[in-house]
Amino acid sequence: YGQEWRTEAGARGRSEPSLAGLVAKLNDISGLRWIRLMYCYPTKVTRELIEVIAGCERVVKYIDLPLQHADDDILRAMNRRGSADVYEKVISDLRAACPQIAVRTTFIVGFPGETEEEFERVLGFVERVRFDRLGAFVYSREQGTPAARLDKHVPRSVARTRYDRLMRLAQVISLERNRQLIGKRVEVLVEGATGDGMFGRSYRDAPEIDGLVYLPGSDAEPGSFVQAAIVDAAEYDLVGRCEC
């Protein structure tokens, strides 16, 4: 379910519903198992929300922050709030409160006016922050949008090269972080069958956009939750031994 929620007090001091308050209430519903936060604007991630993520057992330790860029000039051109320093501080606060949290983001490369230096700032930011999950898109001009009227559109071939460089870096980091799970146990939501077993998702994997956990030799029922000992890792996916 998607809904935009206020994260600060309403006009004239009136109390407004907050995302943190909503998530805390959802956590009280015994029939729910996993509550996942997707597409959270980084400037709206409050201390209250961080505490709810860290402290509520049904809230999976995962957050999707669509940063889009890490150069402040490009962020302003995108009409995005915040700055690279603000974003980095939010992620640092999340990891300090919840060390096991998986942080996902998305970036746009080739936005009008993006220079090589500005793109390099994205690479440097990703190198420092080391996201668990990262997706990227090549900017595509759409008539009628504010960005379409901007000057200095980046050639498609240049934007594609930048995309490839960013995704190669993201894959290296993703593999590094996945390998850290080898020998550990994770809870897996079983989703379907493969030729030699089953597959599912861990708390680190949002549906359709993140990786999978493969469970060779398992016959666990789809829809069930099982414990798996991780025995191997690739850039996006894990292999586990089902302990069911």
The answer to whether residues 119 and 68 belong to one domain is: yes
Is 12 domain-assigned?
no
Is 235 domain-assigned?
yes
For the stretch 70-127, pLDDT in tens is 999 999 999 999 999 999 999 999 999 999 999 999 999 999 999 999 999 999 999 9
Is 10 domain-assigned?
no
The answer to whether residues 172 and 225 belong to one domain is: no
Is 136 domain-assigned?
yes
Continuous H helices in the chain: 19-27, 47-55, 72-77, 84-97, 116-129, 156-179
- Structure-block tokens of residue 123: 């690479």
Domain extent at residue 108: 19-180
Q: Is the pTM of this model over 0.85?
A: yes
Q: What are phi and psi of 173, to 5 degrees?
A: -70, -40
Final residue in a domain of this structure, among 148, 165, 180: 180
Which residue is listed with tokens 């996201």?
A: 131
Could you tell me the CATH number of the domain that includes residue 190?
Answer: 2.40.50.140
Q: Please tell me the predicted confidence (pLDDT) of residue 12.
A: 45
Final residue in a domain of this structure, among 146, 180, 214: 180
User: DSSP secondary-structure letter at 43?
Assistant: G
The residues, any chain, with a CB within 8 Å of residue 99's CB and separated by 6 or more, are none
